[in-house]
Structure 1
Amino acid sequence: MSQVVVVTGASSGIGLAAARAFARQGARLVLAARSAVSLSAAGELCTADGAEVLVVPTDVAHAAEVDDLLAAAEWRFGRVDVVVHAAAVLAYGRFEDVPVDVFDRVIAVNLQGTANVGRSSLRQFRGQGGGTLIVVGSLLGRIATPYLSGYVASKWAVHGLTRSWQIETRRDPGVEVALVWPGSVNTPAYSQAANYAGRVGRPPPPVAPPEKVARRIAQLADRPRRSASVGVANRLTLFGFQWLPMVFDLLVTPLMETAALSHEAIGPHSGNVLTPHPEGNGAYGNRGRPRQITGRTLAAAAVGAGRKLLRR
């Protein structure tokens, strides 16, 4: 019998790519996100890909809505085999420039939302005798950067929370918890983000397509493992953060200003943090379908950052 897969954040980016990957495998899908309009569009895509689909508008920051999501999945399909938690929001800006309500909402969606999904999923899995929870973390859950303090703080917490679940479920036969932590991915998250940095955000190179993360998620559903990195520069970046902290701290701000913030000016706004913006959703970000990111691209960004640093 085909798997029953619940995907949060299914209306856009990694969540949408993962939903379509499972749809092509013949899974029965339950798709969740805040926007009913975007969910409907995602559901149509997954139906065309061959899946039986149930859409359930859900704000993961509200525990009752997540409980209702899992209950709807069980009512429709009888069980839940896999939960993929990909819902997240982010805000650009120096910590003190990000409004309190925006910062708090980033924490609520990313951290409390993960806790809500984990609580409901693990109860479901223990009750039915097994299941796999796949949490989408981030490279920024392993390192720190400027201008994304709320996202960094929440993803560090998500990684720690997921690790606790992995320990607690060791005695639960059939219950698996996996963490996937991608680096830069070409999704609408950057253009949809709240912004108080004055310049439009973008994924710094090297940039992976969302399908690459989706394929890894689908693999984890079949062969769970504790942690899986997606991104050619993740391990190198993590090494620099952990073992060369003075060099990392010296370079990370100019690199962010050169590679992660575009030259396009923008006024302060809350993006999709407080309310969904369905018109900006989709699988890909403003780069369109991703081009090949080469070593030359990454080197150019590093050279630009170095020049900026020397001018200070």
Structure 2
Amino acid sequence: MTAETTANDVEAALAVPTTPGGGQVVLVIGASSGIGRASAIEFARRGASLVLVSRSATTLADAAADCRAAGAAAVECVPADVLDPAQVQAAVDRATGTFGRLDVVVHAATVMAYGRIEDVQPEVFERVVDTAVLGTFNVFRATLPVLRAQRRGHVVVVSSLLASITAPTMGAYVTAKWGQLGLIRTLQQELRELPDVHVSAVAPGGTTTPIYDQAATVLGNTGHPPPPVYTPERVARAVADRVANPRRLKQSGFLNPVIIAGFRLFPPVFDALVGPLLRVFGMSRDTVPPTTGNVFAPVPGKESTRGDYWGI
């Protein structure tokens, strides 16, 4: 099945639900680590049948074991990169071919880089932005024909507080998340004629995931989540709850609205404070050489549900 498949062809392919136990069929992209893995486990606890997608086949198998232990009705694994449209389409085809339909899509795949705009390697900047923007486009392009043919379904994209504010030395990630949110909001407008097809975004603040240790950096040190720090399980519950309660953009962090208000209403004050506060509360005191982290390839040894930080 391709993105150009006609609605009638898709409807025929989805005619007979085959989900074990009748639970939701959930496709989780970015399922091997962090919020994506926590979301997969959360849906597993709710009895879903899962198709897990990430670049790392090794840690994807570990995530699948976690989901089975949590109570998933069934688990399929599809190693794929969101920047490869054919691989994304293959994951969607696995879901519909195996389970007969697709109820929920969780898109949590992302990469991050630290460095001033003029210091970040152009290819690193491009890859961070492409993973969020082009990767999300590829996910939408592969899943929307199925959801339109079904005339129902949910897409939940893990966004970020940094889709609504900016921060120095995080220009690549900020650009990626602002662009991704623009794509999400446009799609929400385009789907207004389908009241049972929903696209939601969940925007966490600092979350104790391994992304900070896996990020590219030219700063000479790594980052860590700024307080207040949340657990990926807490964010995953917000992701899963969007199925029953869709939202255009759900801030997952009680200080997020305050920070956003400061950015919008008092920009001179925000600009004066954000850099020093980020250096004190969002940067580690370690020393590392310049690295591209997991921007171009996964680092399986650093993938897990949680990072090395305490969260609430």
Instruction: Classify the secondary structure of the residue corresponding to 1:95.
Output: coil
User: What do you get for the CA RMSD once the two structures are aligned?
Assistant: 0.9
Q: CA deviation at 1:80?
A: 0.4
After superposition, residues 78-227 of structure 1 pair within 5 angstroms as 78-227=100-249
State which of 89, 94, 97 in structure 2 corresponds to 1:67. 89
- Cα distance 1:243–1:178, how it changes in 2: closer, same or farther (>3 A)? same
Matched residue type, 1:169: L
> 1:23, 1:64 → 2: CA distance?
26
* Cα deviations by residue, 1:160-189 (Å, 9 ceiling, x for unpaired): 111111110000242111111111100000
Provide the residue aligned with 1:250 in structure 2: 272
* Cα deviations by residue, 1:227-286 (Å, 9 ceiling, x for unpaired): 211012101100110000000000111111111111111110000001100110001112
Answering whether residue 66 of structure 2 is matched by residue 45 of structure 1, we say yes
> 1:209, 1:36 → 2: CA distance?
24
Contiguous gaps of at least 5 residues in structure 1: 293-312
Matched residue type, 2:157: V
Answering whether residue 293 of structure 2 is matched by residue 276 of structure 1, we say no
| Over 3 Å off, 4+ runs | none
> 1:258, 1:3 → 2: CA distance?
43
Q: CA deviation at 1:128?
A: 2.0
Instruction: Classify the secondary structure of the residue corresponding to 1:96.
Output: coil
> 2:54, 2:243 → 1: CA distance?
21
> 2:296, 2:48 → 1: CA distance?
32
Answering whether residue 252 of structure 2 is matched by residue 230 of structure 1, we say yes
> 2:124, 2:97 → 1: CA distance?
35
Moved more, 57-66 or 23-32: 57-66
* Cα deviations by residue, 1:125-157 (Å, 9 ceiling, x for unpaired): 002221101011100000000111111001001
> 2:280, 2:100 → 1: CA distance?
50
Provide the residue aligned with 1:17 in structure 2: 38
> 1:76, 1:185 → 2: CA distance?
33
Answering whether residue 24 of structure 2 is matched by residue 27 of structure 1, we say no
Instruction: Classify the secondary structure of the residue corresponding to 2:118.
Output: helix
> 2:311, 2:48 → 1: CA distance?
29
Instruction: Classify the secondary structure of the residue corresponding to 2:222.
Output: strand
The size of the alignment, in residue pairs, is 290
Matched residue type, 1:257: R
* Cα deviations by residue, 1:107-134 (Å, 9 ceiling, x for unpaired): 1111110111112121210022211010
Is residue 181–residue 229 contact of structure 1 (8 Å, CA) maintained in 2?
Answer: yes
Is residue 191–residue 286 contact of structure 1 (8 Å, CA) maintained in 2?
Answer: no
Q: How does the TM-score come out when normalised to structure 2?
A: 0.91
> 1:291, 1:88 → 2: CA distance?
20
Is residue 92–residue 147 contact of structure 1 (8 Å, CA) maintained in 2?
Answer: yes
Q: CA deviation at 1:193?
A: 0.5
> 2:251, 2:144 → 1: CA distance?
23
Contiguous gaps of at least 5 residues in structure 2: 1-21
Matched residue type, 1:44: A
Instruction: Classify the secondary structure of the residue corresponding to 1:161.
Output: helix
Instruction: Classify the secondary structure of the residue corresponding to 1:264.
Output: coil
Matched residue type, 1:7: V
Provide the residue aligned with 1:298 in structure 2: none
> 2:186, 2:198 → 1: CA distance?
12
Provide the residue aligned with 2:6 in structure 1: none
What percent identity do the matched residue pairs reach? 46
After superposition, residues 288-299 of structure 1 pair within 5 angstroms as 290-292=310-312
Instruction: Classify the secondary structure of the residue corresponding to 1:56.
Output: strand
> 1:245, 1:123 → 2: CA distance?
42
> 1:173, 1:100 → 2: CA distance?
41
Is residue 207–residue 311 contact of structure 2 (8 Å, CA) maintained in 1?
Answer: no
Q: CA deviation at 1:291?
A: 4.5
Matched residue type, 1:222: A
